Every structure is written in structure tokens, then in C-alpha cells.
Amino acid sequence: MKNYYVYILASKRNGTLYIGVTNDLIRRVYEHKEGIADGFTKKYNVKNLVYYELHNEIKTAITKEKQMKKWKRAWEIELIEKFNAEWKDLHVELIK
């Protein structure tokens, strides 16, 4: 069974946010951090993994990502702060 992740990156606490989906969270966040692909996260320096959730089905993960992208910013911040009150970069913990 494969795992799929919906994740949120932030430029800093209460900064610019990016919501994405991937099947390899560690690799994908690394790509964002290194600026491997041109795009939103590279342009706005959005590199800190502040939230993620696991799904077993790609359709479920994509549906959740699309829903979250329609959320009000306040809802996104509330979700992050419930999961990661200090806005720590969770990528550091994943690669240990």
C-alpha cells in the first residue's frame, strides 16, 4: 500500500503558505528547499514544512488538497497551530 501526503509549507510563522500533495514527502520537501523546480515556492521562499497528513488513497489526498486550497487563510493557520504550535520545520524530524 502506498502513502500519500497533503502538506503545508510556510515561508515563516504566519508567512506565505503553500499546500501540496505527494507520495514522497521527504523528497518533495527537499525539492522545495533546494529550489529544484521554478514556481511559487521558489519565488516566495516557501521552504518550511509546518503541517502534513497521511492518506492511503491518492484520490482522497487530492480531494483534501483541493478543499484546503479553497479554505480561508485563518482556517489554514488554525490547522497548522493545532498540529505544530511552534511552526517548527517538521522536515528536520522526518529525515532523522
pLDDT digits 0-9 by tens, 6-36: 999 999 999 999 999 999 999 999 999 999 9
Predicted local confidence at residue 96, as pLDDT:
79
Radius of gyration of the chain (CA): 13
Predicted local confidence at residue 6, as pLDDT:
98
**CATH code, domain carrying 17:** 3.40.1440.10
How far is CA 21 from each of CA 72, 81, 86, rounded to the nearest angstrom? 19, 20, 23
pTM value is 0.96
pLDDT digits 0-9 by tens, 44-83: 999 999 999 999 999 999 999 999 999 999 999 999 999 9
State which residues form the domain around 15: 4-94
Show the cell assigned to 74.
485563518
The pair phi, psi for residue 6, each rounded to 5°, is -105, 135
Cα separation of 67 and 90, whole Å? 22
Number of domains within the chain: 1
**For residue 1, pLDDT beyond 90:** no
